[in-house]
Amino acid sequence: MLKNILFTICFSLFSNLLFAAETQSPEMANTLRSDGKIYVVVLVLATIFAGIIAFLIRLERKISKLEKNK
């Protein structure tokens, strides 16, 4: 009984490895995302976005001021 269970576990582990080696998935930046500095890109984009939003808000304030003065 125990032998059977052990065999099953071993076989399933082995077949997993076998399948992992066989199926070659398309190349994605999986490692890049974990430690390849993708967060730097996120930061840069977020900075540009924040800059544009700040610009829009300032522009909106200026227009509001003009609207009050008319």
Partner 1 sequence: MRRSWWKVLCVLFLGYSIVAGLLSPVPALNIVNETIRNLYFHVPMWFTMILLFFVSFIYALKYLRTGRIEDDIFSSELTKVGILFSILGMITGMEWANFTWGEPWSNDPKQLGTAISMLIYFAYLVLRGGMKDEEKRARISAVYNVFAFALMIPLIWVLPRMVDSLHPGSGGNPGFNTYDLDSNMRLVFYPAVLGWMLMGVWITSLRIRLSLLVNHHENKMVTS
Q: Binding residues for partner 1, per CB under 8 A?
A: 25-29, 33, 38, 41-42, 45-46, 49, 53, 56-57, 59-61, 63-64, 66-67, 70
Cβ closest to partner 1, residue 4 vs residue 34: 34
Which H or E run contains 20? helix 2-22
Residue with tokens 């076989």: 11
Cβ closest to partner 1, residue 4 vs residue 69: 69
Contact, 36 vs 29, CB < 8 A?
yes
Q: Whole-number minimum distance, CB 13 to partner 1, in Å?
A: 24
